């Protein structure tokens, strides 16, 4: 008899670990789609060491996956959700609007050039009479007699209306601010205000990343629950087959067969319920990504079962959250805007404004544009506020009070962040401990179920004991799945409140 090799290298299909044999491509398998098959060079062990092979393959794949530190599938979904989210698009539009407002504020420092034209027609209205004829005609008559000529004709009295008829004014107007502190402060206000929508956009991104991650984990948890119930169904089906054989040999009563059939029907109901939850979770996840609710999803099951990331001490987490969170940045920008606004109001009350205006064009009766109609006009305009009934002083005090309110809100937000991080850190720690206990419970109930199953097959245990052990094992598996979900959610929540 030849000595059997301990292990050899050979290409073979990927090991299936579902029910002890799930395939490698499950992490990239769309719901309801046929998985792609591929071969990996693996270690082939002799039959007596198959359990070693399973353990070796599992840890090899897990190490390869964890080296990437993040789920690439989930990251792709997050990028898709960020690109499609309408609220986030509105935030981006608000940022762009702030940039345009800064450009508008800078434009106030340049001269404004306008073309203006007006033409007036008038009928009726008040008028004034000039008795020129009555005054000058006697004089002209005397001069004509002395000169014995008609060199001085008679003239009529004149009546001139006040409203101009047929009068036009066509000109270019140039206005250049020379000294105006409001323009300078307004530009600074726009620049400082631009930080507020940018910070709000960052907050929205963090919230959306958390929502997508949470929905994806819930979807994976429903898949895991369905897998557990299907695995239990396989076990109960085998138990039903064994029970039928024992009943056929008159080693158990027929009610044992009926009991296994009842357990199978319960598992069918659990599977249907789990599949319904999977469909609902998938629809909600697609909703967050702004796409068709029925689109298939890729289940990254290794990510769901991956170990939790280590966390820093609580004090460091709080400091990192205060440094990363954008809510204090929003209030800090608002406080800076308030300070600049107060300086602008004080300057507006104390300093004058000076502007230069220049007009060049033509005006007169009828569009002749001759030398008698062309004109140019320049002016300096100085405005200095002296007294306004203490309105400006009161407005400055109101702005100071608003600044104090913002300062209180800023400190309150920092305290809220500390509280959120503390709560999330404690929840994350408790979830990790609960997950450890859930793993132990699964191991204990699995071992107990195997012992009772062997005893039942050897007719040393009653069926009730077997069902009880199997129910405990299934319950422990479901509890482990829920504990994994809770731990991953607490991990995501801690990252969210830390601003990462």
Q: What is the pLDDT of residues 207-234, one digit of tens each?
A: 899 999 989 988 988 888 888 888 888 8
333 and 258 in a common domain: yes
Examine the pLDDT at 404 and tell me if it is beyond 90.
yes
Cβ atoms of 349 and 385 within 8 Å: the answer is: yes
458 and 421 in a common domain: yes
CB-count burial class (<10 Å; 0-12, 13-18, 19+) for 439: middle
Examine the pLDDT at 152 and tell me if it is beyond 90.
no
326 and 283 in a common domain: yes
147 and 83 in a common domain: no
187 inside domain: yes
418 inside domain: yes
Tracing tokens 């499950």 back to the chain, one arrives at 26
Q: Which of the listed ranges 17-21, 40-44, 61-65, 423-427 does the model predict with the highest average pLDDT?
A: 423-427
Q: What is the pLDDT of residues 332-372, one digit of tens each?
A: 999 999 999 999 999 988 899 999 999 999 999 888 888 88
Pick from 117-131, 406-420, 427-441: least confident: 117-131
477 inside domain: yes
172 inside domain: no
496 inside domain: yes
157 and 203 in a common domain: no
Higher pLDDT, 163 or 358: 358
Here the CATH number for the domain that contains residue 262 is 1.20.1600.10
Q: Please report the pLDDT score of residue 4 as a whole number.
A: 37
Q: Please report the pLDDT score of residue 417 as a whole number.
A: 93
Residue that terminates a domain, selected from 101, 132, 163: 163
Examine the pLDDT at 248 and tell me if it is beyond 70.
yes
User: Which of 347, 350, 375 shows the shortest CA–CA distance to 361?
Assistant: 375
Higher pLDDT, 162 or 202: 202
Q: Please report the pLDDT score of residue 305 as a whole number.
A: 65
Q: Are strands 127-130 and 158-161 parallel, antiparallel or unpaired?
A: antiparallel
The number of folded domains in the chain is 2
287 and 214 in a common domain: yes
Q: What is the pLDDT of residues 4-47, one digit of tens each?
A: 333 333 333 333 333 333 333 333 333 333 333 333 334 444 44
Examine the pLDDT at 471 and tell me if it is beyond 50.
yes
36 inside domain: no
The predicted model scores a pTM of 0.66
| 3-state SS, residue 173 | strand
Examine the pLDDT at 425 and tell me if it is beyond 50.
yes
Higher pLDDT, 150 or 161: 150
184 and 150 in a common domain: no
The CB density around residue 342, as the number of other CB atoms within 10 Å, is 19
Pick from 157-161, 165-169, 187-191, 230-234: least confident: 157-161
Residue that terminates a domain, selected from 163, 195, 229: 163
Q: What is the DSSP letter of 325?
A: -
Helical packing angle, 195-248 and 72-84, nearest 10°: 130
Q: What confidence category does residue 118 fall into, taking pLDDT thresholds of 50, 70 and 90? A: very high
Examine the pLDDT at 56 and tell me if it is beyond 70.
no
In whole angstroms, what is the distance from residue 243 CA to residue 250 CA? 10
Averaged over 251-266, what is the pLDDT? 84
Cα separations in angstroms, 69 against 34, 75, 309, 314: 28, 11, 9, 22
Averaged over 96-104, what is the pLDDT? 91
Segments forming the whole domain that contains residue 147:
123-163
Cα separations in angstroms, 119 against 162, 165, 168, 496: 16, 9, 4, 66
Q: Please report the pLDDT score of residue 112 as a whole number.
A: 93
Averaged over 113-140, what is the pLDDT? 85
Cβ atoms of 396 and 349 within 8 Å: the answer is: yes
Averaged over 464-492, what is the pLDDT? 85
Cβ atoms of 53 and 43 within 8 Å: the answer is: yes
143 and 100 in a common domain: no
Q: What confidence category does residue 70 fall into, taking pLDDT thresholds of 50, 70 and 90? A: low
In whole angstroms, what is the distance from residue 331 CA to residue 182 CA? 24
95 and 150 in a common domain: no
Q: Please report the pLDDT score of residue 88 as a whole number.
A: 86
Give exposure, 76-104, as e/b (b: 16+ Cβ within 10 Å).
Answer: ebbeebbeebeebeebeeebeebeebbee
Q: Please report the pLDDT score of residue 62 as a whole number.
A: 43
In whole angstroms, what is the distance from residue 89 CA to residue 93 CA? 6
Mean pLDDT of the chain: 81
Q: What is the DSSP string of 270-317?
A: HHHHHHHHHHHHHHHHHHHTTS-TT---EE-HHHHHSPPPP---HHHH
Q: Are strands 40-44 and 8-12 parallel, antiparallel or unpaired?
A: antiparallel
Examine the pLDDT at 255 and tell me if it is beyond 80.
yes
232 inside domain: yes
48 inside domain: no
User: Which of 349, 344, 355, 356 shows the shortest CA–CA distance to 385?
Assistant: 349
In whole angstroms, what is the distance from residue 107 CA to residue 462 CA? 90
Tracing tokens 């094992």 back to the chain, one arrives at 473
């Amino acid at each position: 008899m030849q000595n059997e090799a301990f292990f050899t290298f050979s290409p073979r299909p990927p090991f299936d670990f579902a029910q002890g044999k799930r395939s490698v491509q499950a992490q990239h398998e769309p719901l309801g789609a046929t998985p792609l098959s591929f071969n990996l060079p693996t270690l082939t062990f002799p039959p007596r060491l198959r359990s070693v092979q399973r353990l070796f393959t599992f840890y090899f794949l897990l190490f390869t996956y964890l080296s990437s530190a993040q789920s690439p599938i989930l990251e792709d979904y997050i990028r898709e959700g960020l690109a499609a989210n309408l609220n986030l698009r509105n935030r981006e539009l608000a940022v762009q609007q702030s940039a345009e407002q800064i450009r508008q504020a800078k434009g106030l420092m340049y001269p404004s050039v306008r073309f203006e034209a007006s033409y007036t027609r008038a009928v009726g209205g008040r008028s004034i009479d000039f008795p020129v004829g009555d005054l000058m005609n006697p004089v002209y008559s005397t001069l004509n007699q002395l000169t014995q000529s008609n060199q001085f004709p008679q003239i009529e009295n004149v009546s001139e209306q006040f409203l101009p008829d047929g009068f036009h004014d066509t000109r270019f107007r140039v206005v250049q601010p020379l000294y105006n502190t409001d323009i300078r402060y307004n530009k600074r206000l726009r620049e400082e205000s631009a930080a507020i929508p940018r910070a709000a956009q960052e907050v929205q991104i963090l919230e959306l990343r958390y929502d997508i991650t949470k929905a994806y984990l819930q979807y994976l948890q429903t898949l895991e629950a369905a897998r557990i119930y299907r695995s239990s169904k396989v076990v109960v089906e085998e138990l039903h087959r064994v029970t039928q054989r024992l009943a056929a040999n008159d080693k158990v009563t027929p009610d044992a067969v009926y009991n296994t059939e009842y357990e199978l029907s319960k598992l069918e109901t659990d599977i249907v319920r789990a599949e319904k939850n999977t469909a609902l979770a998938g629809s909600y996840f697609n909703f967050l990504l702004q796409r068709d609710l029925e689109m298939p999803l890729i289940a990254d099951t290794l990510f769901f079962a991956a170990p939790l990331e280590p966390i820093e001490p609580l004090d460091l987490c709080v400091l990192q959250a205060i440094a990363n969170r954008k809510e204090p940045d929003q209030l800090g920008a608002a406080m800076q805007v308030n300070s600049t606004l107060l300086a602008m109001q004080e300057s507006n009350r104390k300093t004058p404004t000076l502007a230069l205006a220049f007009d060049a064009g033509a005006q007169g009766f009828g569009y002749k544009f001759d030398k008698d109609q062309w004109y140019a006009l320049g002016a300096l305009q100085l405005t200095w506020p002296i007294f306004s009934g203490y309105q400006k002083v009161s407005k400055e005090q109101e702005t100071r009070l608003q600044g104090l309110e913002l300062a209180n809100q800023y400190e309150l937000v920092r305290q809220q962040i500390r509280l959120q991080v503390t709560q999330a850190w404690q929840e994350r720690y408790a979830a990790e401990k609960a997950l450890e206990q859930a793993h132990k419970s699964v191991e204990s109930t699995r071992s107990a179920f195997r012992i009772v199953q062997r005893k039942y097959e050897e007719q040393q245990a009653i069926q009730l004991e077997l069902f009880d052990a199997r129910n405990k094992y299934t319950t422990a598996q479901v509890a482990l799945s829920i504990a994994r979900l809770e731990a991953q959610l607490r991990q995501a929540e801690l990252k969210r409140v830390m601003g990462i």
